[in-house]
Structure 1
Amino acid sequence: MTGGLPLIVTRPEPGNAATVERATAMGFDVHATPLFAARPVEWRAPAAGDFDALLLTSAFAPRLAGAGIAGLSALPVYAVGAATARAAGAAGLTVAMTGTADAQRLLDAMTSANIRRILWLCGRERSEFDARGAAIVPLPCYAVDPVPPPAGWAELIAAPAVLLAHSPRAATRLASLVGAARAHLSLAAISPAVAAAAGEGWREVAVAERPDDVAILAQARALWHKGTK
């Protein structure tokens, strides 16, 4: 899959490098342009016995939580996406369920199983969703901060390209940064919520069937094929 539209990967590291590697193996003309950087923030683990389960919606939580996450190892983990589940396992946690859609769908499954006291190890900035009557306690253990676009960004988005959006914040920032250029740019979003955050006016928008790299890159490939016609 040579030539055609460039693929612009905007997620923070270390995810950016992993996506770039996978996309390069697929034959994309890949450009690594992280627009955010993740870092740990100070936090303290509460008593695990006060909760029924641990909700993880991003791999950054188990990766950046540090030693304190060991205090939560008794809780079953409900993780959004395979990458988050793998990071939880690497941190010594036990994954009870891996959601293949978004956080809301996973939470619905949890409440249907009568899981009511939920600790959400999350980022400083986070999306909102319907608790469905559960008591959800958000506990930030990391932050994802914007960084300036890298050199060559303006030239890269001046021509048709496919961009990846892995989070609602990324989609919102992309929409702001590209402005009117979205008319000739295509977007592959990792979930419907991410696509909604990107707004209207893109040349094409495709949504991954699952919240993981394999699924979003499959949509990027479909957009690439459309762009070559």
Structure 2
Amino acid sequence: MTDGPPLIVTRPEPGNAATVERAKKLGFDARAMPLFAARALDWSPPAAADFDALLLTSAFAARLAGRGLAELAALPVYAVGAATARAAEAAGLTVAMTGSSGAQRLLDDMTSENIHNILWLCGSDRSEFDARGAMITALPCYAVDPAPVSAEWDALIAAPAILLAHSARAAQRISQLVGGARAHLSLVAISPAAAAVAGDGWRDLAIAGQPDDVAILAQARALWHKGAK
């Protein structure tokens, strides 16, 4: 596949390097083009006893929360995907459930188990979802800021390429940077929400079967075999 269009990976580091490495093993001509950079925020952990569970919708929460995370170690973690679960375990937390269909489905599963008082360790920018009657306390511990666009970006998107959007914010920024000249470009979104903000006019617009790296790359490979070159 390396003789075809490049696969443009836009997620922040350290995930970008991991996706590029995984994509190259699959035969893609993968290019690292991170459009965001994550950083830690100052925050103070509340009393763990005031909550039933800890909700993590990004691996950045576990990676960047710092020492305050230890004070929440008694709470069972509900992680939105496998990468987030691994980051939580690496930080010394106990994962009670790993979701496979996005934050809303995970929250639905939590409330079905009568988990109603939830601490959501999150980013400063976050998606909204239906709380389903639960009491959710959002506590930002990290921020993901737009990063400067690489000098290679314009040349890459001027020709056929497959772009990966690992979040709704990524899909939105890709859409803004590409503009209306996108009929030669294919986009793979990690979720229906990300696909929705990407807009129309792409050569192909596909959605990963699950919100994780393996699924988004599998969908990119399916596009390749469909003829996205």
Between the aligned residues of both structures, percent identity stands at: 76
Shift of 1:85: 0.2
Confirm whether residue 141 of structure 1 aligns to residue 131 of structure 2: no
Quote the residue 2:158 is aligned against: 158
The change in CA–CA distance for 1:5 and 1:46 in structure 2 (over 3 A counts) is same
How far did residue 226 of structure 1 move? Answer: 2.5
Distance 1:182 1:136 in 2: 39
TM-score using structure 2 length:
0.98
SS of 1:180's equivalent in the other structure is coil
C-alpha distance in 2, partners of 1:56/1:197? 23
How far has the Cα of 1:20 moved from its partner?
0.3
The runs of at least 4 consecutive aligned structure 1 residues that moved more than 6 Å come to none
Counterpart of 2:7 in structure 1 is 7
C-alpha separation in 2, matches of 1:119 and 1:200:
36
Counterpart code for 1:55: L
Question: Which residue is 1:117 aligned to?
Answer: 117
Alignment partner of 1:38: what SS? strand
Is 1:78 aligned with 2:90? no
Matched, 1:91 2:91: yes
Tell me if structure 1 keeps the 8 A contact 2:187–2:202.
yes
Deviation at 1:177, TM superposition (A): 0.3
Match of 2:54 in 1: 54
Q: Deviations over 1:63-101 (max 9, x none)?
A: 000010000000000000100000000000000000001
Separation of aligned partners in 2, 1:62 and 1:33: 24
Residue pair 2:8, 2:162 contacting (<8 A) in 1 also: yes
Letter in 1 for 2:7: L
Q: Structure 1: which 5+ runs fail to align?
A: none
Offset, 1:228: 4.9
- Tell me, what secondary structure is at the counterpart of 2:70? helix
For the residue of structure 1 that corresponds to 2:180, the secondary structure is: helix
Give CA deviations for 1:93-131 in whole Å, capped at 9, x if unaligned.
Answer: 000000001000000000111100000000000000000
CA RMSD of aligned residues (A): 0.9
What is the TM-score normalised by the length of structure 1?
0.98
Which residue of structure 2 lines up, in the alignment, with residue 190 of structure 1?
A: 190
* Aligned residues between the structures: 229
Q: Map 1:30-49; keep pairs closer than 5 Å.
A: 30-49=30-49
Greater shift in the superposed pair: 16-25 or 218-227: 218-227
CA contact under 8 A between 2:191 and 2:207: conserved in structure 1? yes
1:154 alignment partner, SS class: helix
Q: Alignment partner of 1:200: what SS?
A: coil
Aligned to 2:130: 130
- The reply on whether 1:167 has 2:167 as its aligned counterpart is yes
2:186, 2:228 within 8 Å by CA — same for their partners in 1? Answer: no
Q: CA deviation at 1:183?
A: 1.5
Partners in 1 of 2:78 and 2:228 — Cα distance? 40
Q: Is the Cα–Cα contact under 8 Å of residues 2 and 29 in structure 1 kept in the other structure?
A: yes
Structure 2, unmatched stretches of 5+, are none
Q: Look up the equivalent residue of 1:197 and give its one-letter code.
A: V
Q: In structure 2, how many angstroms separate the alpha carbons of the residues matched to 1:119 and 1:173?
A: 29
